[in-house]
Amino acid sequence: MARYTGPLCRLCRAEQKKLFLKGDRCKSDKCPINRKRAMPGKDPKARTGKRSDYGVQLREKQKLKRMYGMLEKQFRIFFDRALRMSGITGENLIGLLERRLDNVVYRMHFAVNRNQARQIVQHGHILVNGKHVNIPSYLVKAGDVIEVKENSKKLGVVKDAMKELSKSGTYPWLNVDADALKGTFVSIPHRADVTDNIDIKEQLVVELYSK
C-alpha cells in the first residue's frame, strides 16, 4: 500500500495544528507550530481567509487522514466500511482507525509514532495471537494479544519507545505488560475515550463524503 514519504512537519504546517506525526518530538520547541511557521506554499496568506463549508469539511478529513498516516484511497475504504456498519458512521470510523494494527502498536508504546509502528509491523517484528502479521492495516479484534517477537525485544527503537509508557501510561481499552512487551486489545474504544483527536469533528468527514 502506498504511503506518504515527504516531510511530516509540512503536513502539520498545512493544517496549522500539531498532528504529532513524530511522536514526542512534536513537543519540542523546534516544532514549526510552536515557532508559528507559516503554511507551506508560495502565498499562504491568500489561503487563510474564511473557508467555505466544503473547505472546512475537507480540512477535517485531511487532518484525520494524516493523523493515522493514510492516503485517500485507503481512507475511503475505511469510511465505506464504517458507513455499512450499524450505529453512527463517524464514531464507527474512529473505531476502525483505532483497530489498525500499526495504530495499536503505537498506542501500546512499542513505537514512538505511527510511521515507526508501520515499519515495525511491516518488518515482521509483531505477533498477533502468536502469529506473524505484517499488514499495518490489519484490524485487531477485542481480546487479541499483540506482542513484540521474542528476538525483536532487544530492538533499540522499541526500548526507547517503551520509556514513554511510564510517563503517559496506557489507554483504557488496552492492557500492556511492559516487561513482556505484550498487550491485549481489550475492547474497541468509544469516541469519548480517544482524547488525542478530540478536536476532530468526524461528522464533517461524513458530510463531505455524503455529497
Q: What is the pLDDT of residues 76-131, one digit of tens each?
A: 999 999 999 999 999 999 999 999 999 999 999 999 989 999 999 999 999 999 99
Percent of the chain surpassing pLDDT 70: 76
- Beta-carbon contacts of 23 under 8 Å, excluding residues fewer than 6 positions away, are 112, 113, 116, 164
Domains in the chain (CATH in brackets) are 8-97+197-209 (1.10.1050.10), 99-191 (3.10.290.10)
User: For residue 38, what are the CA distances in angstroms to 10, 26, 47, 130?
Assistant: 10, 17, 11, 47
Average pLDDT over the chain, rounded to an integer: 85
Confidence of residue 42 (pLDDT cuts 50, 70, 90): low
pTM: 0.82
For residues 79 and 205, is the Cβ–Cβ distance under 8 A?
yes
Helix (H) or strand (E) holding 175: strand 174-177
Strands in 174-177's sheet, in edge-to-edge order, are 131-132, 126-128, 145-148, 182-185, 174-177
Question: Which residue from 74, 67, 72 is spatially nearest to 22, judged by alpha carbons?
Answer: 67
Q: What whole-number distance in Å separates Cα of residue 36 and Cα of residue 48?
A: 14
